[in-house]
């Protein structure tokens, strides 16, 4: 029976325990998207996790939708990330890079005046996150096929940079309404070419990017991040069980290292069905998990590892706290995103410091 402290193999990744730090956007990089020494300290503090999935990292300047999120498309960013990976490895941790293109979840003000891109011209409801004064999302333009191929190459180059930066692998961000998800789900993909229509066509971009990442890393160091509920950024799919089931069938054929779903536990959850179709690919569960949820998921075999997000922001030693059922630090919401101060970032105390 698997427990929180049971070792786990994810492809070629050897985890010392089954508690994973989820990717968490903190917008703490420089204006040029270079990781900082403070980011290195932040991740090193959390290296007791079985695996750290680093915050979403843009593959080009045109892939971004937020200020001060890190990138992996030039040498300065590689060098900045090398500080992070070295610090995590010095503490005995594992860390993978999450590669990201936001697609329509952006604004011309963040793209040097360019129109955001997507699978189709479907405008997202709501207002652009964190930009002030508030402004609505704009109508995106659909990518041409040649552009889709070019973005796939950008993902591949970012994976090469991730290897140079010392990461232990990469995870494709195909969730939460960002570009890959916009191609995958039927509400945002109205295309009539080979990237639209059928489930097989809508999943094509995702799988082509995965294949490009495997060329760089091998399947055993590539993960995929999915959000089958479609509950972020005005998403939705007509047949999610079939859509995500097909994706898992194809990822299972490739024998990737793991898949990760952002899906809270409920009667209509489909992650367990996805795991059944994954041909043995390990599954990392995430979203609103309590300690008891995590223990039950592992003990029952419904998940192979469990992941926590906000709890890891406030508790650098979350793994140790979960083991002994210790109380957790209170999250400082005011400093969660986009400041350059230590407070609310690297000043949370461990149990030993209390």
* The pLDDT of residue 77 is above 90: yes
Q: What is the pLDDT of residue 194?
A: 98
Is 238 exposed, middle or buried, given 0-12, 13-18 or 19+ CB atoms closer than 10 A?
A: exposed
Quote the tokens at residue 55: 């915050």
Q: What is the pLDDT of residue 314?
A: 98
Q: Determine the Cα–Cα distance for residues 124 and 109; give it in Å rounded to an integer.
A: 16
Q: Determine the Cα–Cα distance for residues 53 and 9; give it in Å rounded to an integer.
A: 15
* pLDDT tens, position by position, 296-317: 999 999 999 999 999 999 999 9
- Report the catalytic residues: 178
φ, ψ of residue 200 to 5 degrees: the values are -60, -40
Q: Determine the Cα–Cα distance for residues 281 and 311; give it in Å rounded to an integer.
A: 26
**In terms of residues, how long is the chain?**
354
Q: What is the pLDDT of residue 242?
A: 98
DSSP secondary structure, 211-254, as one string: HHHHHHH-GGGEEEEE-TT--SSS---S-HHHHHHHHHHHHHHH
DSSP-derived 3-state class of residue 93: coil
Beta-strand runs (E) in the chain: 8-10, 13-15, 19-21, 51-58, 95-100, 117-118, 141-142, 170-173, 222-226, 258-262, 283-286, 305-308
Which residues pair with residue 283 across a beta bridge?
259
- Label residue 339 by pLDDT band (50, 70, 90): confident
* The pLDDT of residue 140 is above 90: yes
**For the CA atoms of the chain, what is the radius of gyration?**
19
Q: Determine the Cα–Cα distance for residues 245 and 247; give it in Å rounded to an integer.
A: 5
* The pLDDT of residue 1 is above 90: no
Beta-strand runs (E) in 18-161: 19-21, 51-58, 95-100, 117-118, 141-142
- Label residue 354 by pLDDT band (50, 70, 90): confident
* The pLDDT of residue 216 is above 90: yes
* pLDDT tens, position by position, 159-190: 999 999 999 999 999 999 999 999 999 999 99
- Label residue 340 by pLDDT band (50, 70, 90): confident
* pLDDT tens, position by position, 220-267: 999 999 999 999 999 999 999 999 999 999 999 999 999 999 999 999
Q: What is the pLDDT of residue 161?
A: 99
């Amino acid at each position: 029976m698997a427990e929180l402290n049971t070792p786990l193999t994810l492809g070629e990744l050897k985890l010392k325990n089954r508690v994973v730090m989820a990717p968490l956007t903190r917008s703490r990089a420089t204006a040029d998207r270079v990781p900082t020494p403070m980011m290195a300290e932040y991740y090193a503090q959390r290296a007791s996790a079985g695996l750290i999935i680093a915050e979403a990292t843009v593959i080009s300047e045109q892939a971004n939708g937020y200020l001060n999120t890190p990138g992996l498309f030039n040498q300065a960013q590689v060098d900045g990330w090398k500080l992070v990976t070295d610090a995590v490895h010095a503490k005995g941790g594992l860390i993978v890079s999450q590669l990201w293109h936001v697609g329509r979840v952006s604004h011309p003000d963040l793209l040097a005046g360019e129109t955001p891109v997507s699978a189709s011209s479907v405008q997202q409801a709501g207002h652009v996150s964190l930009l002030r004064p508030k402004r609505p999302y704009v109508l995106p333009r659909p990518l041409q096929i040649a552009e889709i191929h070019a973005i796939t190459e950008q993902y591949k180059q970012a994976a090469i940079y991730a290897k140079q930066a010392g990461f232990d692998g990469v995870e494709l961000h195909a969730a939460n309404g960002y570009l890959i998800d916009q191609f995958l789900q039927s509400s945002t993909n109205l295309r009539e070419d080979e990237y639209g229509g059928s489930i097989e066509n809508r999943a094509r971009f995702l799988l082509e990017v995965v294949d490009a990442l495997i060329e760089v890393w091998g399947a055993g160091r590539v993960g995929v991040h999915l959000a089958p509920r479609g509950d972020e950024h005005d998403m939705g799919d007509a047949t999610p069980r079939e859509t995500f089931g097909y994706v898992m069938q194809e990822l299972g054929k490739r024998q990737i290292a793991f898949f990760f779903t952002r899906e809270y536990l409920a009667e209509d959850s489909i992650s367990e069905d996805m795991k059944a179709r994954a041909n043995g690919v390990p599954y990392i569960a995430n979203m609103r998990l309590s300690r008891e949820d995590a223990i039950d998921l592992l003990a029952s075999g419904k998940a192979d590892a469990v992941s926590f997000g906000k709890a890891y922001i406030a508790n650098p030693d979350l793994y140790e706290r979960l083991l002994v059922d210790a109380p957790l630090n209170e999250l400082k919401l005011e400093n969660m995103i986009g400041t350059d101060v230590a407070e609310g970032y690297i000043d949370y105390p461990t149990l030993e410091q209390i």
